[in-house]
Each structure stands twice: as C-alpha cells, then as structure tokens.
Amino acid sequence: MTHPSDNFDGDPRRWRTDVPRKGFVLVDVIDLGREYAKCEMCGHTPVRYQHHVLHTERNVHLLVGCICAEKLTEDYSDTGPAATEKRLKSAAAKKALKQARRRQQLENIYWRKSKKGHWWAKIDGKLIVIVPSKRGETYRLCIDGEFGRRSYLTQEAAQEGARDWARAMIDWEEGLS
Ligand SMILES: [Zn+2]
C-alpha cells in the first residue's frame, strides 16, 4: 500500500507553538498497522508507529511520529522512541513473513484419498474431508468434523472451495490482529 508522504517529517519549523518543545517522556509506541495517523506536532502523515509522549508538568499528551518523539523527549536510549519503533518494526516484519508463509501453503495443498474413497487434506492445521451426498451428486466440505454449508458439483470445485475457505479464514484472522 502506498501513501502520499511529505518532506517535513519532524521539522521543528512545522511544529505547533501551543505546547512545550521539550521535557516530554515516552509513554508508549503503538503500531497502527493499516490505519495511519497524523503527527500532532509537525503534521506529518502517514504515521504508522504512533508515539505517545507526555509532558507531566504541563499535562500535555501528544500522539506524534518517531522523529518528533525523539526531539520532544531527547531520549536516544534503548528504551527511547527510535529503538522502540525499531523493535516494533522487526516484530511486524516477522509477522508479515509468517503470514506470507501461511498463504504460500495454500498453493501446495496435498490431497489424499481415504480408505472410504474420500479426498482429504490438512489445510492450515485443519482436517478437510470432501464428503459426497448420499446420491453422490454433490460434495460438501467437512472441516475438523463440521460440515460446511456450501455444496459443490464436483470434487475439484470442492477442493477449490476448501482453498477459498482457508484464504477467507486467514484474511479474517489477520483482520483481527
Ligand atoms: Zn512529527
């Protein structure tokens, strides 16, 4: 996803003037993921890693980008804004890699035939069995022992349906996290 960016990220000339310019402490850094915010100090956008800084004496709470957070806190330590953001970025990269691998598995589903003649496969840790209707005209998916609502005219369509189901499940789970 690309976002329009600007070139005044953290530029003190863009800073608002109604709040202190230093003396803040870092409260937390939040990875907003796909939701982006605007830096409350310099107006820079998009800010994915939102730094919460607090000026205790003046009781000013700001949500800013990394560069402004560093300047406002003057904290360049291992628990400061940049180091914390770096750790979050590394965690996000690991998560993205894990998700990519999970999706990649869906491209190589290995279907086998059971003794009863049903096609089955392990998909994303779940046991999927393709079960024919009594008269053998349609097929349904049985996912970890529970029947899906959809029925398919062919086994190939059911296999494709299983892949779609797994993809939708992954999308849903990623949407939650
Ligand atoms: Zn800023």
- The model's pLDDT over 51-71, given as tens digits with 9 standing for 90+, comes to 999 999 999 999 999 999 999
Nearest to 58 by CA among 105, 18, 28, 96: 18
CA of 128 from ligand 1 middle (Å) equals 50
Rounded Cα gap, residues 66 and 88, in angstroms = 12
Q: What is the dihedral of CA 128, 129, 130, 136, to 10 degrees?
A: -160
User: Residue 97 Cα, ligand 1 centroid: separation in angstroms?
Assistant: 29
- Report the separation in Å between the CA atom of 50 and the middle of ligand 1, taken as the mean of its atom positions: 10
Q: Letter for the amino acid at 30? A: I
What would the DSSP string read from start to end of 109-150?
Answer: ---EE-TTS-EEEEETTEEEEEEE-TTSS-EEEEETTEEEEE
**Residue 30 pLDDT:** 96
**CA 138 to centroid of ligand 1, rounded, Å:** 59
pLDDT value at position 45? 92
Which position has the token pair 């300047």? 71
**In angstroms, what is the span from residue 25 Cα to ligand 1's centroid?**
15
- Whole-angstrom distance, CA of residue 31 vs CA of residue 94: 14
Q: How far is the CA of 11 from the centre of ligand 1 (A)?
A: 7
Q: Which of 63-67, 81-85, 120-124, 173-177 has the weakest average pLDDT?
A: 173-177
Contact in structure between 79 and 53 (CB atoms under 8 Å): no
Residue 4's pLDDT band (boundaries 50, 70, 90)? low
* pLDDT tens digit sequence for 70-97: 999 999 999 999 999 999 999 999 999 9
Q: How far is the CA of 93 from the centre of ligand 1 (A)?
A: 23
